[in-house]
Amino acid sequence: MATNRTFTMIKPDAVQENHIGGILGMMEAGGFRVVELQKLTLTAERAGEFYAVHKERPFYQDLVKYMSSGPIVAAVLEKDNAVADFRTLIGATNPAQAAEGTIRKKYAKSIEANAVHGSDSDENAQIEADFFFGK
Ligand code: GDP
């Protein structure tokens, strides 16, 4: 995957609250083009695999349970400087610290149920996109 792509998920809380359209709209308004898109429900095993990097963190079990609690929307997005620009668009992990105008400021409910995922590097964007859309 080129460095102009990133990977995102709309998380279970936001899907449950009917915010798929609102969130995709903010992504498109932010200049991102949807390259791949899929709604699915992760098993606990798959969610655990996706977040394996956080295995030692105290919130890992809760995170796995939450991410497998209902449908998500996985997507690959395209834009120049995609990874960094998308992290700016989603805002801080903790919505209490997210800037005005960000997706998490508008839609996140808590530091865990924070509405969206965004890759933190080009390398992880490629790995995460392959996890869902790998050929
Ligand atoms: P991100 O890159 O902004 O998504 O943040 P991290 O990679 O640090 O964490 C991954 C995900 O774990 C976050 O998006 C949250 O859903 C969850 N998370 C992060 N920190 C905490 C925490 O302190 N408590 C809980 N319950 N969940 C957390």
Q: What is the pLDDT of residues 10-33, one digit of tens each?
A: 999 999 999 999 999 999 999 999
Residue 104: which CATH number? 3.30.70.141
Give distance in angstroms: CA of 55 to centre of ligand 1. Answer: 12
Q: What is the pLDDT of residues 64-115, one digit of tens each?
A: 999 999 999 999 999 999 999 999 999 999 999 999 999 999 999 999 999 9
Question: Which candidate in 117, 118, 128, 132 is catalytic?
Answer: 117
CB of 45 within 6 A of ligand 1: the answer is no
Distance CA(26)–CA(17), nearest Å, equals: 16
Distance CA(54)–CA(33), nearest Å, equals: 29
Closest Cα to atom 9, ligand 1: which residue? 93
Q: What is the pLDDT of residues 39-58, one digit of tens each?
A: 999 999 999 999 999 999 99
Distance CA(41)–CA(30), nearest Å, equals: 26
Task: Give the predicted TM-score (pTM) of the model.
Answer: 0.96
DSSP 8-class letter at 33: E
- Of 135, 104, 118, 108, nearest to 75 by C-alpha is 118
CB of 93 within 6 A of ligand 1: the answer is yes
Report yes or no: 30 and 88 within 8 Å, Cβ to Cβ: no
Task: Let me know if 19 is a catalytic residue.
Answer: no
> How many domains, the chain?
1
DSSP 8-class letter at 6: E
Give distance in angstroms: CA of 112 to centre of ligand 1. Answer: 6
Which domain range does residue 11 map to?
A: 4-133
CB of 114 within 6 A of ligand 1: the answer is yes
Closest Cα to atom 17, ligand 1: which residue? 112
